[in-house]
């Protein structure tokens, strides 16, 4: 029941839409990287993760439902930045908010990813990451992991289209969480 995108001609399916939504709920799991700061991580992380997932999903569903009730279907299909068009008091608030949110998320992931790469390298579960294990310093910053993260982010950003990056991001997160849990 989906129509083709007017710009690309691609007809979305359920999984491509899931790939767009999935990164929106992965940021809530960043607390696991800071678990050493929690008093009771075994209690706090599951409760916080489930609670944050339920609240953010409910907010997303509410916004989609309200927009579906109040905005014409054709407008929703053609105007990808509809939030700025209906923003109060000015559309620039939404544009600035999107930029600030993107920068904040990028900074968060740039601090999380090197720690995760370093932990995987220290476990020696992926021999290809042995160069990261060798660069661990006393200050807690693994510079090789940081540079590898910067390189991966830069290469992914060269595509210039978030619709191409999000399936890759989703797959990386799913592989990471699957590897951690199994």
Q: How many CB atoms lie within 10 A of CB 114?
A: 21
- CA-to-CA dists, residue 89 to 70, 80, 84, 92, 113, angstroms: 18, 20, 10, 9, 37
Q: How many CB atoms lie within 10 A of CB 9?
A: 7
Tell if the pTM clears 0.85, that is, is over it: no
pLDDT of residue 78: 80
Cβ burial, residue 113 (10 Å; 0-12/13-18/19+)? buried
User: 158: helix, coil or strand?
Assistant: coil
Higher-confidence residue of 170 and 58: namely 58
What's the mean pLDDT in 166-175?
70
What's the mean pLDDT in 108-118?
76
pLDDT of residue 144: 85
pLDDT of residue 69: 92
With both helix axes pointing from N to C terminus, report the angle between 91-123 and 143-157 in degrees, rounded to the nearest 10. 130
Confidence of residue 180 (pLDDT cuts 50, 70, 90): low
pLDDT of residue 136: 64
pLDDT digits (tens, 9 = 90+) for 29-53: 666 666 666 788 788 878 887 888 8
Confidence of residue 150 (pLDDT cuts 50, 70, 90): confident
pLDDT of residue 100: 85
pLDDT of residue 137: 66
Confidence of residue 23 (pLDDT cuts 50, 70, 90): low
Nearest to 2, CA basis, from 61, 12, 10: 12
Confidence of residue 15 (pLDDT cuts 50, 70, 90): confident
Average pLDDT taken over every residue of the chain: 77
pLDDT digits (tens, 9 = 90+) for 55-111: 888 988 898 899 889 988 888 878 877 877 887 777 788 878 878 877 877 777 777
- CA-to-CA dists, residue 144 to 95, 175, 176, angstroms: 34, 22, 19
């Amino acid at each position: 029941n989906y129509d083709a995108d007017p710009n690309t001609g691609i007809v979305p399916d359920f999984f491509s839409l899931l790939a767009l939504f999935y990164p929106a709920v992965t940021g809530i799991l960043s607390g696991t990287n800071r678990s050493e700061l929690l008093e009771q991580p075994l209690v706090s992380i599951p409760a916080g993760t489930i609670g944050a997932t339920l609240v953010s999903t409910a907010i997303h569903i509410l916004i989609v439902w309200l927009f579906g009730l109040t905005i014409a279907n054709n407008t929703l299909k053609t105007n990808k930045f509809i939030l700025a068009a209906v923003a109060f008091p000015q559309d620039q608030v939404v544009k600035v908010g999107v930029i600030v949110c993107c920068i904040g998320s990028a900074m968060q992931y740039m601090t999380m990813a090197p720690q995760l790469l370093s932990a995987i390298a220290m476990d020696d579960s992926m021999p290809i990451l042995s160069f990261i294990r060798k660069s661990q310093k006393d200050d807690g910053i693994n510079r090789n992991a940081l540079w590898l993260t910067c390189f991966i982010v830069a290469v992914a950003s060269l595509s210039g289209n978030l619709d191409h990056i999000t399936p890759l991001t989703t797959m990386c997160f799913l592989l990471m969480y699957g590897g951690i849990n199994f």
